[in-house]
Structure 1
Amino acid sequence: MRFIFYLFIVGVVYQLNAQQAFEAGKLTDSIPVANTTNETFALYLPTSFVTSQASPILFIFEPAGRGRLGVETFIEASETYGHILVCSNNSRNGPYDRNFNIAANLFDHVFSSFEIDENQMILAGFSGGSRLAWAIALAAGNIAGVLACGAGISEIQQPILQRQEFSYVGICGNRDMNYREMQDLNTYMSKVTYDHTLFTFDGGHIWPPPEEITKAFDWLALQLHKKGNASMTDDDLYKSYKHNYKNAQKSEADGHILNAVENYERVLSTYDSIFTLDTVSVHLNRLKKENSYKKAFKDRTLAFEKEKQWANTFYERFSADYNQPEKADLDWWEKKIRQLNDKYANTNTEFQHMLERIQFNLYAMAFSRNNPNLYQSTEAQRNFCSALGKLVYSD
């Protein structure tokens, strides 16, 4: 696969074919992919787009093949940084081989239609699309960055990252079922000094808000600048630093202590080689000594531990019941779900967030088994999953 994607991405001779002219600043959906029968994609050209100049590009992978939604999420960032936005209407949660072929067709079409800056190619995705973006980046070997929304990679896969050169930025809601996974990945990347960061926001398993996307692009732009693949002026660098510093200050002022520390740490790791940030470092160290931070950090750590226990219990039981649905005991599920709610619904914020993550994870397990692109479930298995989903969100 590495050779295949290298061929499509780098070996394609850039040429502006006699193709339909697309209007800059306008989202165009359902554009046919050349040499395919029914594959289409959504496209957005930033208002700064110039046909004769090589443009940076972002390929987006939406887990349900909603190209328009995928592109809309990144328009604010596109206008700020000038990236062409492309999102397939056919790539979706399912077998990687199928999605790799769809992506290869899309790359072939786009790179034969537009002049692309090969040093500024970024992949992004949400949920299963995030995992796909990472897999394609591994195969391609010349991607500048991956913007992973709402899903990271498994613990087993983590060592693979040590052999990669692309920057990795994660974005995840604190009530997202994959929040703990992405926090663990962030910790691992810090240990191996991988070029990475993680943005978190108050939300569930959804595409991040455009302002969070733009923050991530801001970070990626600076990584490209440091590697010599993009150019930022001194004024751009200072504005970027001040913007991120103000975000950290706002989180602190709003009482979101964990998010504030996350932002201050990113300011230091990102800009300490450019500006003198002694005052930021002193302030961060003081903040970490405050009781409010220690309590919030301890609460989240305990919540993660309990979440892992509940998740393992539910996964083992779900696997057994799914494999033998005729023996599934829905009363057991109803009792456990009620117990989970009674125990954590009225506790501290971190445990309430944990409750939402567990609930959605269980619902997602059941929902995904009824997706024919992922599983060939029997009628009995589908009925069990449907019944379980209704128990999780009974209201």
Structure 2
Amino acid sequence: MKKNYALLFFVGLFIQSAFTQEIVLKKGKIIDSIAINDTIPNSFSLYLPTNFTTAKKWPLLLMFDLEGKEKQSLSVFLSAAEKEGYILAAPKISDTVPLSNNMVRTSNVINKLVGMLPINKSRVYTAGFSSGARFANLVPVFLKDIAGTISIGASIANSDLLNPKRSFHFIGIIGKNDFNYTQMLAVEKVLDRFKFPNQILLHDEEKKWPDTAYFEKALQLFTLSAMGKKIVAKDSIYIEQAYKEDLAKVNNLKSSRKLLFAEQFMGEMTSIYGAHKNLDSLRQVQKALRKNREFKSMKRAENATFFKESILKEDYQYYMEEDVLTHNFNNLGWWNYQKTEINKFTASSNVYEKQMGNRLLGFVNALAEDNIDMVKSEKLIDEDALAFLYMLKTILEPQNFDYYMKIISLSSKNEDFGTALFYLEEALKKGFKDKDKLYGLPDTALFRITPKFNEVVSKYLKDSRYEIIEE
């Protein structure tokens, strides 16, 4: 039975819901807080491309953010959605509710969108950044008819849940400086073994998120895959243009001596264009590159850092678990030494050591934060373990003053004013100047009226709120 859709005017789309609720959907603008229906309180954000029309069916990309930033997550994909022709939506989910509840909310949003817009039900995809990415790549595991997922800055949440009989298209976007990089490479092997279509788009930028060109490429890969599966009509001009652009990228990577990138990207090209054209010439170029002496040297150097990195990660995991369990404050010196060693890696002229150093720093920070979350999730919080982890974070992130403040607050609560004073002075030495935040710290009322507190504050911030009286 053919669906009849409302007439789309240039200024917007008016849709009458089953509950007599009129919704105005404007093209080229993110619309916030669209209710699923009168009985389900959850909502979602939506973006329709400027060339949206009801005359055809559209692919849908669902963006996920667990921190309530649905609009921001959509905005990152706007140019990609415009260029590649995708509808964007962001269900309102949260990490404070069970996974099953978030899956139900996601399912409700999909059903709502399919009912109100001309969605191609064979082309529903998910995407997310970091924790949102881990949720996004779980959606096709639990919900049927999700064609693929874009995982940015995070690997598969749980590869044990993958079912070869329910495959989906996985696209990972990851930087070589990201601590999830090696895990992403490992997951790629699992996906290959299960015959899941997959591509990994790599970048070597030190910043956390890549350029928007990577998001455009990811959506393009979904479209090329849909053409290969005959879900949508094959567009030979579109395919040739995409292939030409990718071939130019390979040549640029080779000319700039980024041979590992070039070889890896050719592998991804083979997996996506094999359904569209003869790739014998591309395979010959890739084969020749693998035999190149410089390429082999680069591969050995990178593999050596992978091996060293795996050993150090095991050490970090072991000692952090032990130190948290035993409240081993004496081992903070060892952690300080490890941070110094990591800093040497990040400052190295060897690109592979530098990338490894950045990954190790990201890994140990994430490990500490995970342990903080675990300790705080317990009914009876182990405050000594929490204090150790806060102190460790000041070593790992010496300019992140939040952790100094947390130690000052926790130590003051337990009337350990010596520790509180030490971390107060350390924060002030490193440039902390937020006096309002300092005086608003919980559990520090007694600490703030001590002469030592006011003496230190006066020394670094010129004046204090309480007068220092010498007897």
Q: Please report the TM-score for the alignment, with normalisation by the length of structure 1.
A: 0.87
Once the two structures are overlaid, the 10-residue window that deviates more, 359-368 or 26-35, is 26-35
Contact 1:127-1:150 within 8 A present in 2 as well: yes
Once the two structures are overlaid, the 10-residue window that deviates more, 222-231 or 362-371, is 362-371
SS of residue in 1 equivalent to 2:45: strand
Q: CA deviation at 1:200?
A: 0.5
Counterparts of 1:389 and 1:167, CA distance in 2 = 37
Once the two structures are overlaid, the 10-residue window that deviates more, 264-273 or 66-75, is 264-273
1:80 to 67, 80, 83: 83
Q: CA deviation at 1:353?
A: 0.5
Once the two structures are overlaid, the 10-residue window that deviates more, 41-50 or 107-116, is 107-116
- Give the aligned partner of residue 217 of structure 2: 215
The residue type equivalent to 1:331 in the other structure is: G
1:174 to 168, 173, 176: 176
- Give the aligned partner of residue 383 of structure 1: 387
1:344 to 1:25, Cα distance in 2 relative to 1, 3 A:
closer
1:366 to 1:93, Cα distance in 2 relative to 1, 3 A:
farther
- Give the aligned partner of residue 60 of structure 2: 57
1:92 to 1:159, Cα distance in 2 relative to 1, 3 A:
closer
- Give the aligned partner of residue 352 of structure 1: 354
SS of residue in 1 equivalent to 2:162: helix
Q: CA deviation at 1:367?
A: 2.5
1:145 to 148, 155, 158: 148
- Give the aligned partner of residue 42 of structure 1: 45
Structure 2, unaligned runs of 5 or more: 7-14, 400-471
Once the two structures are overlaid, the 10-residue window that deviates more, 193-202 or 270-279, is 270-279
Query: Of the two, which has the highest radius of gyration?
Result: 2
RMSD: 2.8
1:1-395 matched pairs, under 5 angstroms: 16=15, 17=17, 18-35=21-38, 39-51=42-54, 53-92=56-95, 95-153=98-156, 157=159, 160-204=162-206, 206-325=208-327, 329-342=331-344, 345-371=347-373, 375-376=377-378, 378-394=382-398
SS of residue in 2 equivalent to 1:163: coil
- CA deviation map 1:8-44 (0-9, x unaligned): xxxxx99952432121111233444435787443321
Contact 2:150-2:218 within 8 A present in 1 as well: yes
1:287 to 1:358, Cα distance in 2 relative to 1, 3 A:
same
The residue type equivalent to 2:113 in the other structure is: V
- CA deviation map 1:227-281 (0-9, x unaligned): 2222231111111111111121122122211111112222233223432333322
SS of residue in 1 equivalent to 2:179: coil
SS of residue in 1 equivalent to 2:377: coil
Q: CA deviation at 1:372?
A: 8.4
Q: Please report the TM-score for the alignment, with normalisation by the length of structure 2.
A: 0.74
The residue type equivalent to 1:42 in the other structure is: S
Contact 1:177-1:204 within 8 A present in 2 as well: no
Q: CA deviation at 1:355?
A: 0.8
The residue type equivalent to 2:235 in the other structure is: T
Counterparts of 1:110 and 1:301, CA distance in 2 = 46
Q: CA deviation at 1:145?
A: 0.9
Q: What fraction of aligned residue pairs are identical, expressed as a percent?
A: 23
Counterparts of 2:330 and 2:227, CA distance in 1 = 56
The residue type equivalent to 2:300 in the other structure is: K
SS of residue in 1 equivalent to 2:266: helix
- CA deviation map 1:351-383 (0-9, x unaligned): 110111110111122234445898345443433
Which one has more relative contact order, counting CA pairs under 8 Å at least 6 apart?
1
Counterparts of 1:113 and 1:380, CA distance in 2 = 54
Contact 1:367-1:386 within 8 A present in 2 as well: no
Counterparts of 2:130 and 2:189, CA distance in 1 = 20
The residue type equivalent to 2:388 in the other structure is: F
Aligned length: 382
Contact 2:375-2:385 within 8 A present in 1 as well: no
Contact 1:176-1:205 within 8 A present in 2 as well: no
The residue type equivalent to 1:222 in the other structure is: L
1:191 to 1:372, Cα distance in 2 relative to 1, 3 A:
closer
